[in-house]
Amino acid sequence: MNMHPPSLPAVGVVGATGYTGLEVLRLLRRHAGVQVRFATSEGSAGEASALPGLSLVSSATVSLEGIELVFLCLPHGKALEWAERAHAADVRVVDLTADHRPGSGRQEGWVYGMVDLAPERIAGARRVANPGCYPTGVQVAIHPLRTRGMISDGAPVVINAASGVTGAGRTPKRELLFAEVASDYRAYALGNAHRHLLEMREGLPGLPLVFQPHLLPLARGILETMYLPMRDAVDAASVRAVWREVFEDSATVSVTDGSPTLAEVARTDRLVLGAADNAGIPGLVTVIASFDNLGKGAAGQAVQNMNLMLGLDPVLGLRC
């Protein structure tokens, strides 16, 4: 069943039963600017999707005729075939996998969809690589400061990040069972080995990054704590002033004088930034970014990208 007028742009969701696919469908349920023509699932074809009135179908039955854009919400490494299929049919793509992000080796011909830093590049684009969740907070926080020469060269930027378990995907894994993660808190990808580092380094070239992710005993949400060595003893107030200038017109990025929390961003498409000075260590500023890994860190940013690509209100359908 189509719940929108047929004149609206038609879109499809490939991989609609993973966490990101489910979240995209939930946002599109409230979106007044597009109609969802199909949602795929290889294991659940014929069952109801997260969008009322729309049943899941297998990829083999999908036609791209009349489709304006597809979201690729597949496991990493599985988007290539669909991306080429859409390209051949002249259909726009927002790829939520890591397959075409900076550092993948396959980013040529793709626009990096970091909405809050380069919206002008996304508007009208045909193929957009949606950023990873961890790199979203890191780059939104650091990039405006780096471009203004506020961060000291040479000294490492240390990033401690913690994410809810939905960031690991929906495929069952023993180490992610409730009994394994409840009342626990653990680091993983030790030794600067997380795959998102490639993406961060491309976005912040030449900046030494030490990135340590942790697993939170929560379903969703990311809190990133960054320690930035600043030039000329730049303080936290100066950092917040730059953010407020850069994101003055943003409906999704906000700045607080306090400490951002997960509770204020859960199940939203917002990102909150905060900064604090460190007593006795002038020139070292602690920066915190909080956001929902499935919202702003994935589906929310993907829908923002779609809106820009189709010439719609950038925040149409979002939970701001």
Residues classed as catalytic: 133
* Beta-carbon contacts of residue 246 (< 8 Å; ≥ 6 apart): 144
HEC secondary structure over the chain: CCCCCCCCCEEEEECCCCHHHHHHHHHHHCCCCCEEEEEECCCCCCCECCCCCCECECHHHCCCCCCCEEEECCCCCCCHHHHHHHHHCCCEEEECCCCCCCCCCCCCCCEECCCCCCHHHHCCCCEEECCCHHHHHHHHHHHHHHHCCCECCCCCEEEEEEECHHHHCCCCCHHHCHHHHCCCCEECCCCCCCCHHHHHHHHCCCCCEEEEEEECCCCCCEEEEEEEEEHHHCCHHHHHHHHHHHCCCCCCEEECCCCCCCCCCCCCCCEEEEEEECCCCCCEEEEEEEECCCHHHHHHHHHHHHHHHCCCCCCCCCCC
* Beta-carbon contacts of residue 311 (< 8 Å; ≥ 6 apart): 123, 124
Structure token digits, residue 176:
């992610």
Question: Whole-angstrom distance between the N-terminal and C-terminal Cα of the chain?
Answer: 28
Structure token digits, residue 129:
């690589």
- Residues 126, 135: Cα–Cα separation, whole Å: 22
